[in-house]
Structure 1
Amino acid sequence: MNSLLDTTRLSRRSVLAGTAATVFVGSRARAADYTWRLGLSQPVDSPNFIRLKEMTERVRTETGGRLDISMHGGGVLGSDTKMLAMLQSGELEMYNAGNVLGPIVPVTEMPGLPFTFKSPAEVFKALDGDLGDYIRAELLAKGIHAFRWGGDNGFHHLTTSTKPIRTVEDLAGMTMRAPVQEMTVDFFQALGAVPKKFPLSQLYQVLKDKTCDAQTDPLFLIVLMRLYEVQTYLSLTNHWWSGFTFTVNAAAWNKLPDDLKAVVDRNVRISALAQRQDVEKATAEAIGILQAKGMIVNQCDVSGFKRPLGAFYAKWKGVYGSKAWSLLEAHVGKLT
C-alpha cells in the first residue's frame, strides 16, 4: 500500500543514509565556511524533515561545502519554545516554526483564525504575497528572518477518545489539547471546551494518559503521529488552517554572502513547494487510512462553532491591528 506511512518510512531511510555524506572538492574534503544547525519538532519521517533534509543536501552540494547545515528533528534540541529562544539568541541558526511564534509576533497567528480561509491555495496566495510580507517584516523586527516559502500543515479537525463531536454542544466541558497560542485557547474556551496547552512532543502521551480527551490537528498528522491508537473518533470540522514558517536568525543570515543566500533561497522554495504537495497527497489519503485503523469518522455541524465569532474576531482584530486585519480581509472578505 502506497500510503503516507509507507512513503515516509522509505524516505526516512534514504535521507538518513545521506546524513554522513562529505562534500569533496577535487580529491580533498573542504571544511565549511559556515556551519549551521536546523532544528524542528516534527518527526524525522515527516514531510517537513524529509524535504528540509533534501534542501540541506542540495545547499551543501551547490555551495561546494561552503555552507553545511545539520538537521536536528523530532525535538531533540528541546521544545519549540526552547528552539525559538535559541533562534533569537543565535544559538540556533535555522528553525522550522509551527504555531509557536504568536507570543513574539502576534500577527503570525492570523492565517490560523477559525473559519477564514477555505483552502491551502487561498492561504498561500496571502502568505506568499502581501499578508506574508507584513508578517515577515514583523518577525524581522524581532531578529528573525522568515523565508517567503513556508510549509503546509493542513486544515484542522477534532479527534476524541470519549464521544464524537457532532455539534458545538458536544464540546461542553471536554478537555482539549491545544497549541500554545492564546488565540486557539480563546477559541475553544468560547465553545465551552477546557483547553490545555501542551507541546506537540507531548501530544500522544497526554492523550494516552487521558490528561486530555480531545485534540485538534490536520488529517495527515493524525496518521503520522498514530493518534488512532489513543483516539477513537474523528469529527470533520475544517475549523482552521495551520502551517510552518521556515526561519533563520537574522544576524546569521546577514553574515552570509549574497551568492550563498541565493542558493538557500532557491532551495528553500523547492523544498517548501514539494512539502506542500506531500501534505496535499497525504491529506487526501488520510481518512481512508484512519478508518482502516478503526477510527469512527463523522461530519460535524459547525454552525454553532461560528456563533461566537463576531466578538471573537473583534477581540483579535484589536490584538493584531487594523493594518494586518485589512490585509487579511482583502483575501477572505469581511470578518467583523
Structure 2
Amino acid sequence: MPVNARLAAALAVALIAAPLAGHAADDIQERTLKFGYSTFEAHPLGQGANKFVALVDEKSGGKIKMKVYPATQLGSETQTISATQGGVQDIVGTSTAPIVGLVKEYAIFDLPFLLANEKQADSLVDGPVGQALLAKLQDKNLVGLCFFENGFRNVTNSKHPINTAEDVSGLKIRVMQNPVYIDAFKMLGANAVPMPWPEVYTALESGAIDAQENPFGIIYVNKLNEVQKYVSVTKHAYSPWAVMMSKKLWDKLSPTEQKIFMDSCNEAKLYQRQVSRAEDAKIIAELKARGMQINEPTPAQLAELKAKMQPVIAKYSETLGADLVKQAQDSIAASQ
C-alpha cells in the first residue's frame, strides 16, 4: 500500500476510534433504546434530550442509539415512570412532582417559594440534596442520571391578573397529581383540580377549568395563549426535570457504558439549562405578541402569598424531615 494510502487509512481509523477515547470499545454493546418524555421536542427540555442522545452516540462511537418519543407518545409522566420501572421503557424524562409518590423527599422541590433564582436552584439540584435524591431512585427500580431544568412555575388563567390570594380564590386551577400543589392552592382558596397533562388544553378550552401553572416554556410550546388570557409571574415553585433510566437496563450495562450515560447527562444538563434560560425572555415577548397579558406581583405581594402558604410549608417540611429541609436551606444559603 502506498505511503499516502496507509496514512489516510490510519487517519480514518483514528477518527472512528476518537469518540471511544478513554473507553474500552469491547465494553460497549450495540443498543437501541427508547427515551420518552412529555414535552414537545422544540421545548428546551426536548432540545436537552436531543443533546443527551447525541452525546451518548458520540461517546459510544455510534454503538448506543436512543430514539426519542416526545409529547407523551409513550404515555403520561406517571405512566412512563411506571413503564421505565418495569423495563418496558428504557429512559424517561419527567418533572419531579410525579416522583413524590415513589420517593416522598422529592416534595422538597414543591415547597412554595423555596427558591428565588436559578443560582439557588443549581446549588440545590447539583449539590448533596439533589445527588442524594437521585440515589434514592435505585430502590424504586430507577437510576437517576441528572436533573434538567423545567423552570420556575407561573400561573395562567382566563379571568384576571393574579397579584394576591384574593385573585386566586375561587379559580378552578389544574395542578399536578401531587399533594403539595393541591394543598398549596387550596390554601389560597382555589379549587385545585389534579389532572394529567394531556387533558389540560381541552379542559381549559371547554372552561372545565380556569387556570393552570407551569414554566414559561410549557405555556409557550403548548400554545396556552389560545385558551388563556393572563400570565402572572408568581415563580411560586421551581420545577426540575429528572432524567431516569430503568434499573433493569442499568444493571445490564458495563461500567464503561454506565459512565457514558452519566457523563453525557451531566454535560447535556448544562447545555439544556443555558437554552432554557436564554429562551425565557424571547418567550415572554412572543406571548405578549400573541395577546397574553403578563403581570408581575410586587415583592410585597409575593411575600403575602408565601405567608398564606406557611401552613402548607410547615406541614410538608415536617413530613420531609427537619434534616433534609435544613440541608436544602444550607445549600441555598451557600449559593448567595
Per-residue CA deviations over 1:158-185 (Å, capped at 9, x if unaligned) read 1111122121101111100111211111
Quick one: which of 156, 160, 164 aligns to 1:163?
160
Contact 1:157 1:219 in 2 (8 A): yes
Partner of 2:314: 314
* Letter of the 1:104 counterpart: L
Partner of 2:331: 331
Query: Where in structure 2 are the equivalents of 1:181-192 lying within 5 Å?
Result: 181-192=178-189
The structural deviation recorded for 1:79 is 1.1
Query: Where in structure 2 are the equivalents of 1:1-336 lying within 5 Å?
Result: 33-98=30-95, 99-147=97-145, 149-300=146-297, 301-332=301-332
Q: Aligned equivalents of 1:330 and 1:271: distance in 2? A: 27
Partner of 1:7: none
- The TM-score with structure 2 as length reference comes to 0.85
Per-residue CA deviations over 1:190-220 (Å, capped at 9, x if unaligned) read 1100111122222222111111101111122
Contact 1:32 1:65 in 2 (8 A): no
Contact 1:44 1:74 in 2 (8 A): yes
Q: Secondary structure at the match of 2:115?
A: coil
% identical aligned pairs: 25
Q: Secondary structure at the match of 1:240?
A: strand
Contact 1:152 1:279 in 2 (8 A): yes
Distance 1:50 1:97, change over 3 A: same
Q: Aligned equivalents of 2:107 and 2:155: distance in 1? A: 19
Contact 1:120 1:152 in 2 (8 A): no
Q: RMSD in angstroms over aligned alpha carbons?
A: 1.9
Q: Aligned equivalents of 2:49 and 2:135: distance in 1? A: 23
The structural deviation recorded for 1:32 is 5.6
Query: Any gaps of 5 or more consecutive residues in structure 2?
Result: 1-15, 18-27
Aligned length: 304
Query: Any gaps of 5 or more consecutive residues in structure 1?
Result: 1-23, 26-30
Per-residue CA deviations over 1:127-155 (Å, capped at 9, x if unaligned) read 111111221222222121111x3111111
Q: Secondary structure at the match of 2:116?
A: coil
More helix by share: 2
Q: Aligned equivalents of 2:135 and 2:51: distance in 1? A: 27
- The TM-score with structure 1 as length reference comes to 0.85
The structural deviation recorded for 1:78 is 1.0
* Letter of the 1:136 counterpart: L
Contact 1:111 1:123 in 2 (8 A): no
Contact 1:152 1:243 in 2 (8 A): yes
The structural deviation recorded for 1:64 is 3.1
Contact 2:110 2:180 in 1 (8 A): no
Q: Aligned equivalents of 1:179 and 1:276: distance in 2? A: 22
* Letter of the 1:236 counterpart: V
The structural deviation recorded for 1:65 is 3.7
Structure 1 runs of 4+ aligned residues shifted over 4 Å read none
Q: Secondary structure at the match of 1:141?
A: helix
